[in-house]
Structure 1
Amino acid sequence: MPHALIVDDDADTRSALTELIAAEGFTIDAAADMREARIHLVRRTPDVVLTDLKLPDGSGLDLFQEFEPSDAVELVVMTGYASVDSAVDALRQGAADYLVKPVNFQRLQMILDRVPRTGDLKAEIGLLRGELRRFGRFGRMLGNSSAMQTLYDQIARVAPTGATVLLVGESGTGKELAAQSIHDMSLRRKQAFLPVNCGAISPNLIESEMFGHERGSFTGADRLHRGYFERADGGTLFLDEITEMPMELQVKLLRVLETGFFMRVGTNKEISADVRVIAATNRDPEEAVAEGRLRADLYHRLNVFPLHLPALRERGDDVKLLAQSFLDELNQQHDTQKRFPPQALEVLSSHSWPGNVRELRNYVQRAYIMAEENSIETASVPLHISPARATAGTMLMVPVGTSLAEADRQIILATLEQCGGVKKRAAEILGISLKTLYNRLEEYGGTGGSVDAAGSLA
């Protein structure tokens, strides 16, 4: 039976929480201050601690010092001060979640449902570390470099918690794989993992896609639609290209992250959502805030546990490991035995790979197709040079007072013209995905092409 420790100097709060948590199948210890809490901890290590931030003899956050990482204890802070700053600070220090007094019972139930009943999750992460030592794999990721080892260690620490994660890295570094790995190592792994590219959804539809809509709420809404937050209830929502989300929707996203409630378009009825959010961007988030692409308050709420994904050029011999892995997959799929000679792997390792892992995978596939014999020579498929940026001196004048949407439109169209209409090159220069560029061009009345459900351009 799971065990909970309640730490609060208010006797009525302790009594109410004891009754509620015991009804969820927990055994309970209760303490009025830090001294009593430490006495209980000596006797028994709890599965979850619910502690007030402000106690007569200290802060509830001081209880972090009583645990080892291997204890797998979830610490939930409670505060009577509805301050996002104090809650975010607690999450940064390692708290699994927070509750604002008076405690909402639904939120409390959601938190208790996530508490591990055994040490299985920690054991699974231990097995993954063993697989890393033997094969260079950690979850869905591959790589043995020191930069990746640092990333794996951070993922192993944050995955079992309920903390919001912000992934920052260049396009093609594997942010979705990292998000999926965090989900797979979390208590939510049996629930849905939903990836959403915020830049690939029309700004006119993104609110409906995120939160859903009621039938008849707008023209064409002929049925009730459940949005991503509703479908990800109990699981993880991965918001890629978060800086491409319209500013007005960022306000609503912030509210969901703070309260756990949202409303479908066309209704005032609130719906609860127990969703862990992992966000990602290939931009510098602080620059995005300065440029007005990302709200500062949303950035601070998402930036509870930031993770940097290293570029492939920073990962040393991981290039060889990845290239060989991609080739092994192709050989297995097609029942062949093609291979890289050592000198070919050295050539790959010396390339800068501006498109990162995605570019390397595409190159290996091209080389595999072009290889006539079993040996893959890099000379037969030259490495692409990264696209040239717009020529020096090319400028676009945007008058002060121009809306961000109109400025975006002018920059995108001007860049596309500078690239001679080559959309892939323009997307790389703009720092957005090709899919996002196609969607923007469709909005502007240009020929955007179509994109299928898998994200392939048609």
Structure 2
Amino acid sequence: MSHALIVEDDPDAARMMATLVEQQRFTVATAGSLRDARKQLALHRPDVMLLDLQLPDGSGMELFKSPELIAHSEVVLITGHASLDTSIQALRLGAADYLIKPVSPRSLEGVLSRMMKPGALQTELGELERQVDEQGRFGPMWGRSAPMRRVYKQISRVAATSISVLITGESGSGKEVVARAVHELSRRRQRPFLAVNCGAISANLIESEIFGHEKGSFTGADSQHQGFFERAHGGTLFLDEITEMPMELQVKLLRVLETGTFMRVGSTQLREADVRVIAATNRSPLQAVDEHKLRDDLYYRLNVFPIELPPLRERAEDVPLLASRFLADVGQREGRAKRFGAAALEALQAYRWPGNVRELRNVVQRAYVMADGEEISAEWLPRNAGVPVPAEAARPPAAPAEPSLVLPLGVSMAEAEKRLILATFRHFDQHKERTAAVLGMSMKTLYNRLKEYAREDAAVQDAVGSPPSH
């Protein structure tokens, strides 16, 4: 039977938590001070320790200065509120989680259900590191390049905690895959992982979708509805394109992160949110703050642990591995294996991949379909842009130049993105599907960007059209 140590100087609170912990089939010991805690740790090493930060003879943090005492224990901090400082302390010290006072039975049960032996996580991470060297794989992610190894290291560090994560990276670079990797390596892996694209839900519906609503709370609310926070209970909620969330809803999201509670639309009853939030954006977060697309207080609350995902062009050495992986997946689904020729792999690695990994996957699928034999040549692959043409290939008749876009130094990221999207849109004769595919973004995201630009510049209004039905 697992053993728990509760370090809490309030006798009533300690007894209450001891009763709840015993109901989860733990043996329990209590300590009201640092001195008593050290005695208990020496007598019987606990599997989990619930540690109050404020004790009569000092801070609970003092126990972390004796790593030999807590090396084999999962530590859960008990704090008055889920502040940014608490999150940073928990991450720095290696605490598994934290509970907010007053500790509720549901939140305590959730924390205890996720406890694992510290050594088990280290063993699993060690196995993943070996897989990177041998197969080029880290959980659901692929790549051996130095930029990706840095991402893997960050995931390994943060996954075992309950810390909020903010993932940044270009469209199509794999931000949701990173979020899934964090979830699958966390103690929440047995609970749901739900992904929400904040840019794909109507501004009138997004609050209801995220927090739920009561029957009759607004026109059309014919029944009670559970939002993403309730459905993701105990698990992870991934909020993609967080800068597309309405500002008034960002206030409510911040409140959830600070208090661990929320209310359905049309309700006055507080509900607990035992959910880890991972957010992502393909914009510069600080630029979004300056443009009033993202609240600064929410940014700092989400950015406790930032992960910046490199674009595919900055890890070109991973392209052959990724392309071969995608090709194997297609071949398995279609029942016929194919392979890339050497020239095809060179062409794939030389290409700049403006749509990143998503574009690479689409290119591989198209090349599989178009190739007649078992070997895929460079015929159906995208032509390379920006790489000098070999001298022997530069003879008349000269190949037409690739279309390009020149940007002045000092232009903002938002303005650069706008010019790229509109230039690509014009190049493909205002064909939204082709534009979205090349840029590696969803149709909804492209439509939202075009609609936003149309408000800023009436000259492109006629090019926006109606939102895609899908």
- Cα root mean square deviation, aligned: 3.5
**1:438 aligned onto 2:437:** no
Which secondary structure state, in structure 1, belongs to the residue aligned with residue 196 of structure 2? strand
Answer yes or no: is the 8 Å Cα contact 2:192–2:232 preserved in 1. Answer: yes
**1:232 aligned onto 2:236:** no
Task: Report the alpha carbon displacement of residue 129 of structure 1 after superposing the two structures with TM.
Answer: 3.4
Which secondary structure state, in structure 2, belongs to the residue aligned with residue 315 of structure 1? helix
Which secondary structure state, in structure 2, belongs to the residue aligned with residue 4 of structure 1? strand
Matches within 5 A, 1:268-287: 268-287=268-287
Q: Corresponding residue for 1:178?
A: 178
Q: Whole-Å Cα distance in 2 between the matches of residues 181 and 121 of structure 1? A: 14
1:343-402 residue CA offsets vs partner (Å, 9 max, x unmatched): 32122222222221111111222222232333222244333659755888xx9xxxxxxx
The worse-fitting range, judged by mean Cα deviation, of 349-358 and 329-338 is 329-338
In 2 relative to 1, CA 29–163 (structure 1 residues): closer, same or farther, beyond 3 Å? same
Q: Corresponding residue for 2:469?
A: 450
Q: Corresponding residue for 1:4?
A: 4
The worse-fitting range, judged by mean Cα deviation, of 31-40 and 416-425 is 416-425
Q: Corresponding residue for 2:109?
A: 109
Q: Corresponding residue for 1:219?
A: 219
Which secondary structure state, in structure 1, belongs to the residue aligned with residue 49 of structure 2? strand
Which secondary structure state, in structure 2, belongs to the residue aligned with residue 317 of structure 1? helix
Answer yes or no: is the 8 Å Cα contact 2:216–2:223 preserved in 1. Answer: yes
Q: Whole-Å Cα distance in 2 between the matches of residues 180 and 186 of structure 1? A: 10
Structure 2 runs not aligned, ≥5 long: 386-401, 455-463
1:308-362 residue CA offsets vs partner (Å, 9 max, x unmatched): 2222122242111111111222222333343222232122222222221111111
**1:136 aligned onto 2:136:** yes
In 2 relative to 1, CA 89–59 (structure 1 residues): closer, same or farther, beyond 3 Å? farther
In 2 relative to 1, CA 201–412 (structure 1 residues): closer, same or farther, beyond 3 Å? farther
Identity %: 53
In 2 relative to 1, CA 247–415 (structure 1 residues): closer, same or farther, beyond 3 Å? farther
AA at the equivalent of 1:84: S
Q: Whole-Å Cα distance in 1 between the matches of residues 184 and 243 of structure 2? A: 25
Q: Whole-Å Cα distance in 1 between the matches of residues 259 and 150 of structure 2? A: 32
Matches within 5 A, 1:318-333: 318-333=318-333
Q: Corresponding residue for 1:306?
A: 306
Q: Corresponding residue for 1:99?
A: 99
Q: Whole-Å Cα distance in 2 between the matches of residues 302 and 346 of structure 1? A: 40
Task: Report the alpha carbon displacement of residue 6 of structure 1 after superposing the two structures with TM.
Answer: 2.4
Task: Report the alpha carbon displacement of residue 58 of structure 1 after superposing the two structures with TM.
Answer: 4.3
Answer yes or no: is the 8 Å Cα contact 1:199–1:436 preserved in 2. Answer: yes
Task: Report the alpha carbon displacement of residue 244 of structure 1 after superposing the two structures with TM.
Answer: 0.8
Task: Report the alpha carbon displacement of residue 280 of structure 1 after superposing the two structures with TM.
Answer: 1.1
Structure 2 residue corresponding to 1:421, chosen from 402, 413, 430: 430
Task: Report the alpha carbon displacement of residue 204 of structure 1 after superposing the two structures with TM.
Answer: 0.7
**1:88 aligned onto 2:87:** yes
The worse-fitting range, judged by mean Cα deviation, of 352-361 and 369-378 is 369-378
Q: Corresponding residue for 1:54?
A: 54
Q: Whole-Å Cα distance in 2 between the matches of residues 83 and 424 of structure 1? A: 43
Answer yes or no: is the 8 Å Cα contact 1:2–1:26 preserved in 2. Answer: yes
Answer yes or no: is the 8 Å Cα contact 1:165–1:304 preserved in 2. Answer: yes
Q: Whole-Å Cα distance in 2 between the matches of residues 364 and 357 of structure 1? A: 11
Task: Report the alpha carbon displacement of residue 40 of structure 1 after superposing the two structures with TM.
Answer: 3.4
In 2 relative to 1, CA 45–284 (structure 1 residues): closer, same or farther, beyond 3 Å? farther
Q: Whole-Å Cα distance in 2 between the matches of residues 177 and 303 of structure 1? A: 18
Structure 1 runs not aligned, ≥5 long: 396-406, 452-458
Task: Report the alpha carbon displacement of residue 34 of structure 1 after superposing the two structures with TM.
Answer: 3.5
The worse-fitting range, judged by mean Cα deviation, of 94-103 and 410-419 is 410-419
In 2 relative to 1, CA 31–232 (structure 1 residues): closer, same or farther, beyond 3 Å? same
Answer yes or no: is the 8 Å Cα contact 1:34–1:60 preserved in 2. Answer: yes
Which secondary structure state, in structure 1, belongs to the residue aligned with residue 376 of structure 2? coil
Q: Whole-Å Cα distance in 2 between the matches of residues 332 and 427 of structure 1? A: 27
In 2 relative to 1, CA 343–376 (structure 1 residues): closer, same or farther, beyond 3 Å? same
Task: Report the alpha carbon displacement of residue 254 of structure 1 after superposing the two structures with TM.
Answer: 1.4
In 2 relative to 1, CA 214–121 (structure 1 residues): closer, same or farther, beyond 3 Å? same
Answer yes or no: is the 8 Å Cα contact 1:438–1:450 preserved in 2. Answer: no
Q: Whole-Å Cα distance in 2 between the matches of residues 429 and 243 of structure 1? A: 22
Q: Whole-Å Cα distance in 2 between the matches of residues 120 and 215 of structure 1? A: 45
Which secondary structure state, in structure 1, belongs to the residue aligned with residue 86 of structure 2? helix
Answer yes or no: is the 8 Å Cα contact 2:82–2:258 preserved in 1. Answer: no
Which secondary structure state, in structure 2, belongs to the residue aligned with residue 238 of structure 1? strand
Task: Report the alpha carbon displacement of residue 43 of structure 1 after superposing the two structures with TM.
Answer: 4.2
1:262-321 residue CA offsets vs partner (Å, 9 max, x unmatched): 211122122223212111111222222222111122122222222222221222421111
In 2 relative to 1, CA 225–72 (structure 1 residues): closer, same or farther, beyond 3 Å? farther
Task: Report the alpha carbon displacement of residue 440 of structure 1 after superposing the two structures with TM.
Answer: 6.9
Q: Corresponding residue for 2:460?
A: none
Q: Corresponding residue for 1:455?
A: none
Task: Report the alpha carbon displacement of residue 241 of structure 1 after superposing the two structures with TM.
Answer: 0.8
Task: Report the alpha carbon displacement of residue 39 of structure 1 after superposing the two structures with TM.
Answer: 4.0
Task: Report the alpha carbon displacement of residue 191 of structure 1 after superposing the two structures with TM.
Answer: 1.9
Q: Whole-Å Cα distance in 2 between the matches of residues 437 and 380 of structure 1? A: 26
Task: Report the alpha carbon displacement of residue 418 of structure 1 after superposing the two structures with TM.
Answer: 5.8
Answer yes or no: is the 8 Å Cα contact 2:4–2:47 preserved in 1. Answer: yes
In 2 relative to 1, CA 116–201 (structure 1 residues): closer, same or farther, beyond 3 Å? same
Q: Whole-Å Cα distance in 2 between the matches of residues 216 and 268 of structure 1? A: 14
Q: Whole-Å Cα distance in 2 between the matches of residues 213 and 387 of structure 1? A: 49
The worse-fitting range, judged by mean Cα deviation, of 9-18 and 177-186 is 9-18
Q: Whole-Å Cα distance in 1 between the matches of residues 55 and 381 of structure 2? A: 67
Answer yes or no: is the 8 Å Cα contact 2:444–2:468 preserved in 1. Answer: no
Task: Report the alpha carbon displacement of residue 100 of structure 1 after superposing the two structures with TM.
Answer: 3.6
Which secondary structure state, in structure 1, belongs to the residue aligned with residue 233 of structure 2? coil
The worse-fitting range, judged by mean Cα deviation, of 280-289 and 34-43 is 34-43
1:111-143 residue CA offsets vs partner (Å, 9 max, x unmatched): 223223796555444443343332111211111
The worse-fitting range, judged by mean Cα deviation, of 32-41 and 308-317 is 32-41
Task: Report the alpha carbon displacement of residue 168 of structure 1 after superposing the two structures with TM.
Answer: 1.6
Which secondary structure state, in structure 2, belongs to the residue aligned with residue 348 of structure 1? helix
Task: Report the alpha carbon displacement of residue 247 of structure 1 after superposing the two structures with TM.
Answer: 0.7
Q: Whole-Å Cα distance in 2 between the matches of residues 147 and 413 of structure 1? A: 26
Q: Whole-Å Cα distance in 2 between the matches of residues 213 and 415 of structure 1? A: 41
Q: Corresponding residue for 1:289?
A: 289
In 2 relative to 1, CA 340–273 (structure 1 residues): closer, same or farther, beyond 3 Å? same
In 2 relative to 1, CA 264–380 (structure 1 residues): closer, same or farther, beyond 3 Å? closer
In 2 relative to 1, CA 121–96 (structure 1 residues): closer, same or farther, beyond 3 Å? closer
**1:377 aligned onto 2:377:** yes
